[in-house]
Amino acid sequence: MAKEKLALLGGKKTVTIEYVEGWKHITEREKQMVLEMLDREEITGVPQVVRDFEKEFAEYIGTRYALSQCNGTSTLLAAYFAAGVGPGDEVIVPSYTWHASISPILHNNGIPVFCEIDPHTLTADPEDIKRKITPRTKAICVVHMWGNVTKMDEIMDIAREHNLVVIEDCSHAHGAEYDGKKVGAIGHIGCFSLQGSKAMVAGEGGIVVTDDTELYERLLICGHYGRIEQDLITDCYRHLAPPGIGYKFRAHPLAIGIAKVQLSRLEELNQKRTANFAYLDRELGKLKGIETLSVYPKAKRGGFYGYRAIYHGEELGVPRERFIEALKAEGVNVSPCRYMICHLHPLYQGYNFHGKGCPYNCPHTKEYQSPGEGSLPVTEDVYRRLLALPVFTDPPQGLLEQYVEAFRKVVENINQLG
């Protein structure tokens, strides 16, 4: 393919197959479930379908308890509450994540303390977590980004040493594992989104899991008035029934009916995505200037919310934006990462979102210095290198091969972009 004219400069486009995802989240099975629930008028409350799903999901993950909720964000807010995060408490969390991993810390009056990521896995760096621990640290939140699993043995060792709660944000990683154990069951609390683009969908929904009875009861009183009296295990929080602390995080029953069917299809989805990602990793990893994500030896990816690769422009002599422009001309659906790095957003630099003060300027935290540009150099550097591709589950035959050929064509003819 050397010396072939790039499509950006008038050459023939490489990708000629239209990308139409063959995997359908909503099938006749999901539709039938919803129709049956409608016939039974199960449109509110906690019908048996919801309880069955919670039981099945807990068994699948390997925890004692599971609570379905209205979205993944609410599971994280409830998790921070359950962990005891309050005014002045710090939660260590990677900056490279969806903001829902972080904003609920503020709404528990806690302080997000941002840590670096491993630049080869895009997951939280245990060594930097150690550096960020202070006497105010209450919890660690790790995010299994794009289905890639954090180095959980080291994270749990740190937590045990400092008596910290570990919250796993598993919203990208349904079915992923570390050392033979499902993510969500490794830390103290596991949080899953079931939003309509995730590996398992409810349309809008979430589910939170734990093995710990006290944490489960705190999750329950945080957002589940209407089932607190029935579902409490001990009498510790019974005096707070029926309102709990007043939040309503209950999921819509029809959404959970859909998710119940989705759970039975998750392993098939993960098998397909595993094969497709392995192919892309193997072939793109052969190319100069392209780094595919590393996976820790004990980790098994799952969920695969999106495909990310790392571009090393210094090896090819062309900026990332120009490289992306050339790939797009070849027909590749590629872009910079749509996520932001949160430590540079105004909300996390002391924005007064209540109007009368926020955690950054309450008496407990006057000495806290909001992070800024340059405070997380590893994260900032790798973020500027990311290439984002679709999450391929069941693409048309030959499409992935054409994507690889397009990458190879641009890399081998990179001098044309000089």
The tens-digit pLDDT sequence of the chain (418 residues) is: 458 999 999 999 999 999 999 999 999 999 999 999 999 999 999 999 999 999 999 999 999 999 999 999 999 999 999 999 998 899 999 999 999 999 999 889 898 999 999 999 999 999 999 999 999 999 999 999 999 999 999 999 999 999 999 999 999 999 999 999 999 999 999 999 999 999 999 999 999 999 999 999 999 999 999 999 999 999 999 999 999 999 999 999 999 999 999 999 999 999 999 999 999 999 999 999 999 999 999 999 999 999 999 999 999 999 999 999 999 999 999 999 999 999 998 888 765 555 554 544 444 444 445 578 899 999 999 999 999 999 999 999 999 999 999 999 999 999 999 7
What are the distances in angstroms from CA 10 to CA 52, 207, 405? 58, 50, 17
Range 28-262 classified under CATH 3.50.50.60: no
pLDDT at position 254, please?
98
Specify the domain boundaries for CATH 3.90.1150.10 within the chain: 7-24+266-338+380-417
pLDDT at position 86, please?
92
**Fold (topology level) of 7-24+266-338+380-417:** Aspartate Aminotransferase, domain 1 (3.90.1150)
CB 228 within 8 A of CB 87: no
pLDDT at position 190, please?
98
What are the distances in angstroms from CA 236 to CA 75, 218, 224, 240, 381? 21, 10, 16, 9, 48
What are the distances in angstroms from CA 180 to CA 110, 175, 177, 295, 300? 33, 11, 6, 14, 8
Q: What is the 3-state secondary structure (H, E, C) of the chain?
A: CCCCCCHHHCCCCCCCCCCCCCCCCCCHHHHHHHHHHHHCCCCCCCCHHHHHHHHHHHHHHCCCEEEEECCHHHHHHHHHHHCCCCCCCEEEEECECCHHHCHHHHHCCCEEEEECECCCCCCECHHHHHHHCCCCEEEEEEECHHHCCCCHHHHHHHHHHHCCEEEEECCCCCCCEECCEECCCCCCEEEEECECCCCCCCECCEEEEECCHHHHHHHHHHHECCCHHHHCCCCCCHHHCCCCCCCECCCCHHHHHHHHHHHHHHHHHHHHHHHHHHHHHHHHCCCCCEEECCCCCCEECCCCCCEEEEECHHHHCCCHHHHHHHHHHCCCCCECCCCCEHHHCHHHHCCCCCCCCCHHHCHHHCCCCCCCCCCCHHHHHHHCCEEEECCCCCCCCCHHHHHHHHHHHHHHCHHHHC
Specify the domain boundaries for CATH 3.40.640.10 within the chain: 28-262
Q: Which residues contact 327 (CB under 8 A, 6 or more apart)?
A: 334, 406, 407, 410
CA distance 371 to 344: 7
pLDDT at position 2, please?
53
pLDDT at position 352, please?
58
pLDDT at position 346, please?
81
pLDDT at position 231, please?
97
What are the distances in angstroms from CA 103 to CA 83, 98, 136, 170, 358? 15, 10, 18, 16, 12
CB 120 within 8 A of CB 291: yes
Q: At what angle do helices 213-223 and 72-82 cross, to 10 degrees?
A: 120
What are the distances in angstroms from CA 176 to CA 40, 84, 294? 35, 27, 15
